[in-house]
Structures are given as C-alpha cells and as structure tokens.
Structure 1
Amino acid sequence: MLTELLITNTDRRFYFRPFFIALLVLANSLYLTGQTMKPLKSSFEARLVNIEAPSNEPFRYTTTLTNGSAQLVNYNFNALLPDGWQISYRVEGSQVTSLQMQPNKAQEISIEISCPITTKPNKYKIPLKAISARDTLTLDLEAVVKGSYALELSTPSGRLSDEVVSGSSKEILLKVKNTGTLPLNALDLSSQLPSRWEATFDPANIKQLEAGKSLDVKVNLKVPDKTIAGDYAAKFEIKSPNSNADISFRMIVKTSLLSGWIGMLVILLAIGLVYYLIRKYGRR
C-alpha cells in the first residue's frame, strides 16, 4: 500500500512539473512584452551636463532626444549662447539643425560647443531647446572654462622678409602676444641662423606678459663679411614654461655698392693690364 502511494505521488509531481515551468515562461514573456510596449516619455537629456575644458578646446556632450508620442515629430534645435560662442549638433556623424523623430523612439545626439580663446575662466550656462509643433523640450548644459596658455610671435606689419647688406647689421621688429587667458612668465627669446650670423634681442627675456597683452622686441641681426648674395632663412623662437611660438624670417642678402665699384675697378684694371701687355709684348 505504501509503495503504491509513493508511486502515485511521484507520477503527480512528474505530471505537474512541466505545467509549472510552462506557466513561469508565459508569465515572464508577458512581463517582458509589457515592459517593451511601455510608452516612452518625451525628453531631452544629457549623460553629463557639466563639462570642464580650457578655452582653446571644445566642450563635447552626449545627449539623447526622445519622442514619446505616437506621432512623427520634427524637432528644431535652438541654443542661447554667450557672444562669440558656437554650437553644432551631430547625428550618426552628420551635422544637423533639426531632426525628424519616429513615434516612441530615442536618438543619441552629439553636441560640440566652442568658445573664443579669450573667454575668461568661469562657469557658463547653455540653455538648449528641441522645439516642435507639439511641445518644447529643454536641456540646461554647463561649460566650465579653465584658463589657457597660448603665445603668438609675429611682426607688427605682418611682413616676414627683409633685405640686408653683406657685412652689415639689420634691425627687425618682432611682436610677442599672449593670446591665452592666463599670464605667461619667464619668456626667453632665441634664434636659429646661418653659420656665423648673430642676433641679439632687446629685451632678451620677458618676466611676465598678461593675457591679451603684446610686446615689441627688437632684433639686431648681424651678417658676416663676404656673405654670398642670396636668400637665407632665419628662425626666431620664444619659449615659456607653459607655451612657445616661433616664426621663420626670409633675409635677402645683397652686396654693398662700394663692393660693386671695387669689383668693377678690379675688372677694369685687369683689362688694362692685359691690353698693356699685349701692346708691349704682342709684336715680339
């Protein structure tokens, strides 16, 4: 009797086990289907809303625009930027100004914001809007501008060439400008010149140059005697612990007028000497 009861209970467990497994699978499928079909909420969101960067680098944000409606919606992008700032929107690598969204869909949008290099270090709020006929979605970003170092070396006139007479000196005027947003300290000037050329700077060292300020530097360039006439390249460089800049300058070397006259005189004397020798010894 006990044996028959155990066999009967075992058969019942074997019979109900597949039923319970099928019931669990069905319940799980219904739950996942419900989760999938759950409608999305229209929104404009960013993974990171606060980004810090120097003024010479762009601020890059990854955002997501969601159309939670049951209709096709066209969104136009709008941003309130400080003066001189620029913004671009990219979807799958292409730059856009608007986006057509399918119903109940989400789309990732890459946003890049740039500010002028002279922007002062501070926190700047960037309100964004995705505007459609149905609604307006807003997103508030923050760009934290750090100080930046940048240096520029040029000439006051922009001219990068000059002439010099062989064996003489030439004064060249350079312009050093701090184009960053932070002061630059301990700036040193140097040169790379053709063999035996010399250059002295006035001043040769700059203790400090404030942001946005510029300073003129005089360069006394000395060309050695007997330098062959032609074009020569001179390179001037300025360095600081945080930034550096350089400029290539073309020098056109000419011979002096006196040297030309002396050369002509030597030629004439040589011709005269040849003529004299011919007259004196030519008949023999």
Structure 2
Amino acid sequence: MFKRRFISLLAIAIIVVGAILPLDRAFAMDNISLFSAYTGITASPGEKTKYDVDVINNGSSIQTMSFSMEGLPKGWDYSISSNGTNIQELSVKGNSETPITVEITVPLDADKGDHEFQLVATDGNSPSSVPLSISVKEQGSLKSELTTDQANLEGHADSTFSYTVTLNNKTKEAQSYTLSSSVKDGWLVRFLSDSNSVTSVSLEPNTSVDITVEAIPPQNIEADTYEIPITAATNDSSSELKLEAVVTGSYDVEISTKSEVLSDTINAGSDKTIELVVKNTGTSPLVDIELTAETPSNWETEFDESTIAELEPGKSKTIKAKVAAPKDAIAGDYVTTFSATADQASADATFRMSVETSTLWGFVAILIIAGVVVGLYLIIRKYGRR
C-alpha cells in the first residue's frame, strides 16, 4: 500500500515540475537551423576565409545557443561574429533569423587538399550544424619566397631589363631581408621599392611586397641568354630566384673619313669629293642607313649612295660625298655636318671646310701689285732727277 502511494506521489511531482519548467528547453534546438549559401571555399596558406551563416529560429520562443567547430584541422583558428562583434553565445527571437560571420584562418603550413568540418550550434542538449569545407590549393610551409610572373625578358644590349618580383614572408615572425644578386660578366643590378633604390626590406608575418629588379648589361656585350640570380636573405634563411635576360645585340654606328681627318680646303665656286666611312660598331646588323648632310647656306652636297641597305656588325662602307662651294663664298671656315641614320642608331661627323680665294684672282692681284710697283718706279725715275 505504501509502495503504491509513493509511486503516485512521485508521478504527481514529475507532472508538477514539468508544468513549472518550460518544456521547450530540452527540445529547443529542434527549431533551429543553420544555413550558408557558400559552404565550400578555395584558399591559400596564410589566407583568412569568411562564411556568412544564417541562424534561423522556426520556433515561437527565444532560443539561446553556443557555437563550436568540429573537425577543424589542428592549428587552424576560427572566430564567430555578429554585426562586427565577436560572440560566444547568441539568442535568436522566435520566428526570426540572425546572420553571423565565421572567419577561419588557414595556417601558413597548411597541407594542400580538401579540408571538411562543420559549425555546430547547441543549447547543451540538442545540436544543429552546417557542413563547411576549404580547399587549400597549394602546399603551405613556414618560409620566405621570391616569385615572379615574368622571369624571362628580351632586349638589345643597351636596354635596361626590368622585372617585377614579389617577396612573401610566409613565416610567423617579422623579417628583415637583405637583397643581393650574384650576376657575373659586369652586369649592374639594383632593387627598387616604391621607386626608391633599396638594399633591404622589412616585412610583417604573412605579408608581401613587390620589388622592381633592374638589370643593366655591360657595354659591348655579346648576343646571348644571361642568367641573373637574386637573393632575399635573413639571418636564418634565404630565398633565391633566377631571372633571365635574352640580349639580342647592340646597335651603334660611326661616320668619319678614311684618314679620320675632318677638315679640308676648297676654292669658292669649286667642289671637292670627300670619302666618308660608315662603320657598324654594334653587335647586330643595321638596315636602311640613310646618309644626309647639313650644309651652310647656298652650299650643295651630293652622295654617290644616299642609303646603305644593310651593314653587318664590324663592317664598314665608303661613301663619296661631293661638296660644292658657291662662287661668292667669302674666305673663311664653313661647317658641314654629315649624318648616318638608321632606325636603331645614328651618328654625326662635323667637317670643316676652309674657303680660299681663287688662284686666278691671286694671279690678278699679283699682276696689279707688280703693275703698281713698275708704275711707281717709272714715275720716280722720270721725275726723281728734278
């Protein structure tokens, strides 16, 4: 009898307690769902990714929950925020939804591949979750790295080869890098950051900087492919990158005379032929070299050939230039500038011509002087005795 009465009292107590406590507390998460439009993201080591997640309360009462991340790889960090504020718990009104942001930091040494995990919301009894994943597109490592999108450039010998390289600090500490190059054969290499010449740069963890590398070849370099190794080094490590410069050759031309004497004499009203020598002093062929002359007023110049179709490196060609002085040219020095011009190079030669009085007028002057002397002699002889 006593046993039956005890069981009855216990049943009544359970009913009373159940009536007092909110029954939906134990089954609250049955009305909660998590939704994200983008559950799979691609990222690189060291990158931060974000998921926008809606917490939906389909019930009629307020639901309070906490969050956790299950299956997240070791060493990966995450944070959860709502309206810009980091949160640990969230309460959602009945028949409403609240957006949250899940930020996950992929570590610098993350393994390449697909990583799956899930965001879990729970009130301590019944959980809700949404599956998420990150595809790491490259193998991570804790190191420094020099990279470039264009390691090979082509140009002629008097070009400046300009490369853009990126220095990445994929370590967990700030680093100071010394920049250098071990290029040979007389090349000049310099580094520029923000248009300033530098020999070192400092980087915070998981940051990068673009650096311009300028490589200037030595004079008279031969056409070939040259390797330009560069290094960014710290006290503990270094990163190297090999650049390439394809030198197609140099372009240069000279113009002078056979004797290399750039002066002569000429009589007014006469002409003189000058033998000009055009030489290709570069390492690449020159084509369509045009010969021109800039003369004093009323002077004339004529070339036996005004164009050289092609001139190989080290070769020369003799061109005859006939220079004519006007009849009324006054005695003195006159300058004529000869030019040899191609698309790739040009050169000038300044030639000085000294105009002399005509020989005929010299004889005439001598005869006049002689006549004057004879006349004076006769006058003195005739009248000197008186």
**TM-score using structure 1 length:** 0.69
User: In 2 relative to 1, CA 15–193 (structure 1 residues): closer, same or farther, beyond 3 Å?
Assistant: same
Partner residue, 2:230: 128
* Contact residue 44 and residue 139 of structure 1 kept, 8 A: yes
Distance 2:255 2:293 in 1: 13
Once the two structures are TM-superposed, the CA of residue 217 in structure 1 deviates from its matched residue by: 3.7
| 1:110 Cα deviation from its structure 2 partner | 0.8
In 1, the alpha carbon distance for the partners of 2:260 and 2:208 equals 52
Matching of residue 143 in structure 1 with residue 245 in structure 2: yes
**Would the alpha carbon gap of residues 258 and 85 (structure 1) be closer, same or farther in structure 2, given more than 3 Å must change?**
farther
Shifted more, 105-114 versus 233-242: the winner is 233-242
Q: Aligned partners of 2:322 and 2:108: how far apart in 1?
A: 79
2:167 aligned with 1:65: yes
Q: Structure 2: how far apart are the matches of 1:93 and 1:266?
A: 77
Match of 2:285 in 1: 183
Question: Is the alpha carbon distance of 1:239 and 1:92 closer, same or farther for their aligned partners in structure 2, counting shifts above 3 Å?
Answer: closer
**Change over 3 Å in CA distance of 1:48–1:206 after alignment to 2:** closer
Bigger relative contact order, structure 1 or 2 (CA pairs below 8 A, ≥6 apart): 1
Check whether the contact 2:296–2:335 (CA below 8 A) recurs between aligned residues. Answer: yes
Q: Tell me which structure has the larger Cα radius of gyration.
A: 2
Cα distance, 1:132–1:264 mapped onto 2, change above 3 Å: farther
Q: Tell me which of 301, 316, 328 is aligned to 1:226.
A: 328
Q: 1:80 aligns with which of 159, 176, 183?
A: 183
**SS in structure 1 at match of 2:93:** helix
Quote the offset at 1:120 in angstroms: 4.2
After superposition, the C-alpha distances for 1:239-267 in whole angstroms (9 at most, x for unaligned) are: 55766544443433333576457447658
1:55, 1:119 within 8 Å by CA — same for their partners in 2? yes
Contact 1:166 1:224 survives alignment (8 Å): yes
Instruction: Output the CA distance in 2 between the equivalents of 1:137 and 1:156.
Output: 56
More strand by share: 2
CA RMSD of aligned residues (A): 4.2
Higher helix share: 1
CA distances 1:161-191 after superposition (whole Å, capped 9, x unpaired): 5543434444544331224433234545343
CA distance in 1, matches of 2:181, 2:153: 20
Partner of 1:255: 357
1:101 aligns to what? 202
- State whether structure 2 residue 93 is matched by structure 1 residue 15: yes
Summarize deviations over 1:138-181 as a string: whole Å, max 9, x none.
00111123356543334567665554343444454433122443
User: What secondary structure does 1:225 align onto?
Assistant: coil
Shift in Å at residue 56 of structure 1? 3.0
8 Å contact from structure 1 (residues 86, 113) kept in 2: yes
1:237 paired with 2:368, answer no
On the 8 A contact 1:78/1:131 being kept in 2, the answer is no
**Distance between the aligned counterparts of 1:154 and 1:123, measured in 2?**
33
Deviates more, 1:102-111 or 1:148-157: 148-157
Secondary structure of the residue that 2:211 maps to in structure 1? strand
Q: Letter of the aligned partner of 2:200 in structure 1? A: L
Deviates more, 1:150-159 or 1:128-137: 150-159
Report the counterpart of residue 153 of structure 1 in structure 2: 255
Is the Cα–Cα contact under 8 Å of residues 90 and 109 in structure 1 kept in the other structure? yes
2:317 matched residue in structure 1: 215
Report the Cα distance in structure 2 between the residues aligned to 1:43 and 1:251, rounded to whole angstroms: 65
**What CA deviation, in whole Å up to 9, does each residue of 1:21-45 have, x standing for no partner?**
2xx22x23xx2xx359999731122
What is residue 55 of structure 1 aligned with on the other side? Answer: 157
Query: Contact 1:185–1:240 (CA<8 Å) still a contact in 2?
Result: yes
**1:209 CA displacement:** 1.7
Give the AA of the match of 2:355.
Answer: V
| Alignment partners' CA distance in 2, 1:16 and 1:177 | 92
2:276 alignment counterpart: 174
* Identity in percent: 33
Aligned partner of residue 143 in structure 2, secondary structure: coil
Distance 2:306 2:345 in 1: 17
Q: Distance in 2 between matches of 1:214 and 1:84?
A: 28
Deviates more, 1:64-73 or 1:259-268: 259-268
Seen in structure 2, the aligned counterparts of structure 1 residues 133 and 120 have a Cα distance that, compared at 3 Å, is same
1:117–1:180 Cα contact (<8 Å) kept: no
Partner of residue 3, structure 1 = none
Contact 1:173 1:219 in 2 (8 A): yes
Q: CA deviation at 1:210?
A: 0.8
